[in-house]
Amino acid sequence: MKILIADDDAMSRRLLERTLEREGYEVTEVDNGCSALEQLSLRDGPRLALLDWMMPKLDGPGVCLAIRRQHDRPYIHIVLVTSRGSKQDIVSGLESGADDYLTKPWDPAELMARLRVGQRILDLQDRLVQASETMRFKATHDPLTSLFNRGVIVDLLARELARTRRENGCTIVMLGDVDRFKSVNDTLGHVVGDEVLREVARRLLKSVRSYDFVGRYGGEEFLIVLNNCESDQAMLRAEEVRNGIAIFPVQTGRGPLPITMSVGVLSSRDWNLALVEEILGEVDLALYRAKADGRDCVRLAKPIVPSGAPQQLVR
């Protein structure tokens, strides 16, 4: 594990370095507080630090205060090392952000025991962060395909449509449905059906840009949100998505399986609709037309305004 030693006394640094290297630590040493802060601010910097209280440029408590103001990197366990031993000094050091306190001359056994405590605390925090991230992922992603779940993808669509309206931009919305998926489950089983859905999800992600959104809308339906696009790209982009599904059979445990997708597509610039539910309703109708027209095709939801008549929607 990486550890930082910050002390302006070269002899003290050398003694600490030899002690810690014998215990397997990867040691970085500096002789002033500014250099200590620089090392601890690095993205892959040390997670353990031994800071002398009195140092040039910036003292140990000053380094602690500066580090605790940073919230964009993993926690650092800091031990202040000093000859000061009064209760007031201990309180002052801990209130500056230090986690522990070691008085000079330090005992090697006590030093290592305190560092092992610091390692246990960091390990516990890392496990808590990982558990929190796992819970967040489970709450926002579909467990089968690892795509965004329905709630999240609809929320992302709503946010993107709001941004598009503010910036007078254009968002392309697609709703795709795997053709004849029920027959896959009925004839080959749900295990194969799951394999198909996972591969469809992978191909959809491959068909869009890294900053577009793809989510499992429900069952074998997938919602795709493309931001910063032009209206005349809607059919082209949807055909790319459809072709990305149909181009190769899906390899399953029961052999290769040809899979196609029907797609309804809509360009937000073509519609003066404020509610995300209205957008979803129109693109769903376009998907229904694609199904009715023989599947494995794309249909565009586009309003028609006859001359001298109120707006009439193509259903």
Report the CATH number at residue 250.
Answer: 3.30.70.270
Please check whether residue 45 lies inside any domain of the structure: yes
Please check whether residue 25 lies inside any domain of the structure: yes
**Residue 160 shares a structural domain with residue 282:** yes
Kindly report the average pLDDT of the chain as a whole number: 92
Structure tokens at 101: 């306190």
Mean predicted confidence (pLDDT) in 99-119: 92
**Residue 109 shares a structural domain with residue 224:** no
DSSP 233: G
- Look at 109-113, 116-120, 303-307 and tell me which has the smallest mean pLDDT: 303-307
Please check whether residue 118 lies inside any domain of the structure: yes
- Where does a domain end: 92, 107, 139? 139
As a whole number of angstroms, the distance between CA 13 and CA 268 comes to 64
**Residue 102 shares a structural domain with residue 198:** no
Please check whether residue 145 lies inside any domain of the structure: no
User: What is the SS3 assignment for 254-295?
Assistant: CEEECCCEEEEEEEHHHCCCCCHHHHHHHHHHHHHHHHHCCC
Number of domains within the chain: 2
**Residue 165 shares a structural domain with residue 264:** yes
**Residue 198 shares a structural domain with residue 87:** no
As a whole number of angstroms, the distance between CA 57 and CA 44 comes to 24
Please list the alpha-helical segments (H only) found in the chain: 10-22, 33-40, 60-68, 87-95, 108-140, 150-167, 181-188, 190-207, 234-246, 276-292
**Residue 118 shares a structural domain with residue 157:** no
Known catalytic residue: 220? Answer: yes
Structure tokens at 186: 């009925």
Structure tokens at 273: 């609709």
The pLDDT of residue 92? 85
Mind listing the pLDDT tens digit for each residue in 9-59? 999 999 999 999 999 999 999 999 999 999 999 988 999 999 999 998 899
Mean predicted confidence (pLDDT) in 253-261: 96
Helix (H, G, I), strand (E, B) or coil at 12: helix
Helix (H, G, I), strand (E, B) or coil at 114: helix
Please check whether residue 277 lies inside any domain of the structure: yes
The residue from 220, 230, 240, 277 that is catalytic is: 220
**Residue 130 shares a structural domain with residue 155:** no
**Residue 82 shares a structural domain with residue 12:** yes
Q: The domain spanning residue 105 has which CATH number?
A: 3.40.50.2300
Helix (H, G, I), strand (E, B) or coil at 232: helix
Mean predicted confidence (pLDDT) in 147-159: 96
pLDDT tier, 163 (very low <50, low <70, confident <90, very high otherwise)? very high
Q: How many of the other CB atoms lie within 10 Å of CB of 167?
A: 9
∠ Cα 118 74 88 (to 5°): 50
Q: 178: which strand partners?
A: 261
Closest by CA to 150, choosing from 199, 218, 201, 211, is 218
**Residue 13 shares a structural domain with residue 105:** yes
The pLDDT of residue 312? 41
Specify the length of the chain in residues. Answer: 315
- Where does a domain end: 79, 110, 139? 139
**Residue 231 shares a structural domain with residue 157:** yes
Mind listing the pLDDT tens digit for each residue in 258-301? 999 999 999 999 888 768 999 999 999 999 999 999 999 999 99
The pLDDT of residue 73? 82
Please check whether residue 144 lies inside any domain of the structure: no
DSSP 15: H
- Segments forming the whole domain that contains residue 243: 150-313
- Where does a domain end: 139, 163, 186? 139
Helix (H, G, I), strand (E, B) or coil at 54: coil
**Residue 315 reports pLDDT greater than 70:** no
Q: Parallel, antiparallel, or unpaired: how do β-strands 213-218 and 172-178 relate?
A: unpaired
**Residue 163 shares a structural domain with residue 305:** yes
As a whole number of angstroms, the distance between CA 128 and CA 75 comes to 12
Please check whether residue 299 lies inside any domain of the structure: yes
**Residue 256 shares a structural domain with residue 107:** no
As a whole number of angstroms, the distance between CA 36 and CA 17 comes to 15
Please check whether residue 218 lies inside any domain of the structure: yes
Mean predicted confidence (pLDDT) in 101-108: 88
Instruction: Evaluate if pTM is beyond 0.85.
Output: no
